[in-house]
Amino acid sequence: VVITQVLAEKVSDGVLGVKIKQFSGNTADTVEKIVRANTDPSKPNKILLDLRDDPGGLLPGGIAAASLFLPANSPVVSQVDRTNVPRAERTIFDGPFADGDVYRVALLVNGQTASAAEVFAGALKDNGRATIAGDDVSATFGKGVVQTVVPLGEDGEEGGLAITVAKWVRPNGEDINKKGVEVDVKVGPCGEGEVTCLPKDLFRDS
């Protein structure tokens, strides 16, 4: 069974709305197909990526999706383990929508935007590729740790102990955990009519 995690619809003022419910292994491919099918590369386009209530999902899916909108060699996220040595993830190629003059991007987040969705938001924000609008919040959820579960008792019958083995750090060097990604502008509450509550100048020029 394939669960649709990405939805798209044309919304007001010529904005393409893309709702990402959760990041998976095929999220980047789906987003790329939707944007290609609904934009014109010969003129400026406005894209609103709605990450409200996105709990994250797979980190590689978030990294791959962010790479669609970033130039080559852009930092996406760093994973820092107990040695305190960051292992950086960077883009390899120019993303198909990396040109900020053609693809103007904004994100809509809320307090339940978490984990891989925060990595995605932080990457676009810190690389100057998107304005972040918070739906009645000033920052996202703040989950930026990598954990492993150690079973307790024989065969884990006494439950398990979650141990943090690493943390995620944004391109600007800030931890995501317990801080989240701060928004550029607070809006809403927006409800389902997300575009109607957004400021007209949300889509920045490059």
Which residues belong to the active site?
115, 126, 143
CB of 99 closer than 8 Å to CB of 154: no
Amino acid at 171: P
- Alpha-carbon distance values, 68 to 71, 98, 153, 154, 166 (Å): 8, 7, 45, 46, 26
Q: Which two tokens stand for residue 148?
A: 């492993």
Closest C-alpha among 130, 126, 95, 79 to residue 109? 130
How far is the C-alpha of 206 from the C-alpha of 203, rounded, in Å?
Answer: 9
- Alpha-carbon distance values, 49 to 40, 160, 202 (Å): 17, 37, 12
Amino acid at 92: I
Instruction: Give backbone dihedrals phi and psi of 128, rounded to 5 degrees, phi first.
Output: 70, 25
Residue that has been written with the tokens 């994250």 in this structure: 56
Beta bridge partners, 107, equal 49, 132
Peptide bond into 71 cis (omega under 30): no
Name the DSSP letter for residue 204: -
